[in-house]
């Protein structure tokens, strides 16, 4: 299997505080990967480095054999954990913005996703409930024909029904030529889509592997493994 993304001995420090402490990861093409850990574990920092928004202090990141930069940004579609759209926009404006900004924008796919998500293109961004805004942001990210999708807590602000819709989009919009990394602590709701998982705590990967292999080895669900590792009563 071809490794599309990898990082080795990746470290990141802010003001003498170590955020990432020697992260090692490899992701194959055509895989949906869970980056699982509690808030403050380093998930967002890692995704920002992969997306080319932040630089690592040391170590190496390779996306399709290339370090993060101008070339890789055309291959990576990133959903941050906060709204990135302008307040003056309507849904229609946000679509036009993405269409103008990204050469790989797929208008046909966008129209299908907007319909599937039941979004009103005339709605103002500021008037959208949190769940509707999350659906729009995810739709825009998946309207690009990218090789690597990075989703930072894509389900944190939506209800259970919307979560299922979003997971359906994730399952239906990746191909053998693309990979998805989902950073989340909502393991109960998301584990059904993962092929591979990395558990991260305090800037270190503490356990990783193929989902089915881990479940067989531990005799537990991924959610139960998460609880065991982080000593949480619930992961939702």
Q: Is residue 117 part of a domain?
A: no
With a cut of 70, which residues of the chain have pLDDT below it?
1-2, 232-236
DSSP letters spanning 159-226: -HHHHHHHHHHHHHS--TT-EEEEEES-HHHHGGG-SEEEEEETTEEEEEEEHHHHHHHHTS-HHHHH
Q: Is residue 173 part of a domain?
A: yes
Q: Is residue 235 part of a domain?
A: no
Angle between helices 130-142 and 91-101 (to 10 degrees): 20
**Mind listing the pLDDT tens digit for each residue in 186-216?**
898 889 999 999 999 999 999 999 999 999 9
Q: Is residue 32 part of a domain?
A: yes
Question: What pLDDT, on the 0 to 100 scale, is given for residue 154?
Answer: 87
Question: What pLDDT, on the 0 to 100 scale, is given for residue 233?
Answer: 43
pTM of the complete model beyond 0.75: yes
Q: Is residue 171 part of a domain?
A: yes
Question: What pLDDT, on the 0 to 100 scale, is given for residue 29?
Answer: 87
- Overall number of domains in the chain: 1
Q: Is residue 222 part of a domain?
A: yes
Q: What CATH number is given to the structural domain containing 45?
A: 3.40.50.300
- Spatial separation of the C-alpha atoms in residues 59 and 24, rounded to whole Å: 9
Question: What pLDDT, on the 0 to 100 scale, is given for residue 1?
Answer: 54
Question: What pLDDT, on the 0 to 100 scale, is given for residue 218?
Answer: 93
Question: What pLDDT, on the 0 to 100 scale, is given for residue 55?
Answer: 92
Q: Is residue 166 part of a domain?
A: yes
- Spatial separation of the C-alpha atoms in residues 101 and 156, rounded to whole Å: 27
Instruction: Label the pairing between strands 148-152 and 179-184.
Output: parallel
Q: Is residue 120 part of a domain?
A: no
Which residues, listed in sequence order, are joined to residue 89 by a DSSP beta bridge? none
Q: In the chain, which residue ranges form alpha helices assigned H by DSSP?
A: 43-51, 70-73, 91-101, 107-116, 130-142, 160-172, 187-190, 211-218, 222-230
Question: What pLDDT, on the 0 to 100 scale, is given for residue 234?
Answer: 45
Which residues constitute the domain of residue 8? 3-18+28-85+148-230
Question: What pLDDT, on the 0 to 100 scale, is given for residue 235?
Answer: 43
């Amino acid at each position: 299997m071809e490794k599309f993304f990898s990082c080795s001995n990746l470290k990141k420090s802010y003001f003498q505080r170590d955020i990432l402490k020697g992260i090692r990861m490899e992701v194959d093409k055509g895989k949906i990967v869970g980056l699982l850990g509690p808030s403050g574990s380093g998930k967002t920092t890692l995704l920002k480095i992969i997306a080319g928004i932040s630089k690592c202090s040391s170590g190496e990141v390779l996306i399709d054999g290339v370090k993060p930069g101008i070339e890789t940004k055309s291959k990576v579609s990133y959903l941050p954990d906060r709204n990135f759209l302008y307040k003056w926009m309507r849904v229609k404006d946000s679509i036009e913005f993405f269409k103008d900004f990204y050469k790989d924008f797929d208008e046909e796919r966008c129209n299908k996703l907007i319909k599937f998500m039941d979004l009103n293109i005339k709605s103002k961004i500021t008037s959208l409930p949190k769940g509707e805004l999350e659906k729009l942001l995810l739709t825009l990210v998946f309207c690009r024909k990218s090789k690597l999708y990075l989703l930072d807590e894509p389900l944190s602000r939506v209800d259970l029904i919307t979560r299922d819709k979003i997971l359906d989009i994730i399952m239906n919009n990746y191909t053998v030529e693309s990979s998805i990394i989902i950073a989340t602590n909502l393991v109960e709701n998301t584990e059904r889509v993962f092929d591979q998982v990395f558990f991260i705590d305090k800037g270190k990967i503490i356990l990783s592997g193929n989902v089915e292999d881990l479940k067989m080895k531990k005799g537990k669900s991924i959610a139960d493994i998460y609880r065991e590792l982080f000593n949480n009563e619930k992961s939702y």
